[in-house]
Amino acid sequence: MKAWRQTPDSVVAKSVSICGFSDDPTSWHIARHDVYGTKFRMAWELRSHDGAEDDSGSFDDCESYEHIMETLDDIVIED
């Protein structure tokens, strides 16, 4: 399931900010990881090219936020 790909880029950016991550994703641990770092950086760069630019959703909706967080929990990085 790739439902997370439909999450608007603005929601991802707000989620990252709310969680306290740096605005620079290259400083995150996963970006520097010896196994997953390169794949993460590539995926992060390409995230806005998959049609997830629709800003019509409201981030202030708590149910939407919870749904997004549950969806993000399901992400698996595979080799």
Query: For the residues of 45-65, what is the DSSP string, one character each?
Result: HHGGGSS-----S-TT-HHHH
Q: Does the structure show a pLDDT above 60 at 5?
A: yes
24-79: per-residue pLDDT in tens?
Answer: 888 888 888 888 888 888 888 877 555 444 444 444 555 666 777 777 777 777 76
In a domain, 21, yes or no: yes
* Amino acid 63: pLDDT: 61
Q: What is the pTM of this model?
A: 0.44
In a domain, 78, yes or no: no
Q: Counting Cβ atoms within 10 Å, is residue 5 exposed (0-12), middle (13-18) or buried (19+)?
A: exposed
- Separation CA 32–CA 9 (nearest Å): 22
* Amino acid 20: pLDDT: 85
In a domain, 79, yes or no: no
Q: How many domains does the chain have?
A: 1
* Amino acid 48: pLDDT: 53
In a domain, 52, yes or no: yes
Q: Counting Cβ atoms within 10 Å, is residue 62 exposed (0-12), middle (13-18) or buried (19+)?
A: exposed
Range of the domain at 69: 3-73
In a domain, 25, yes or no: yes
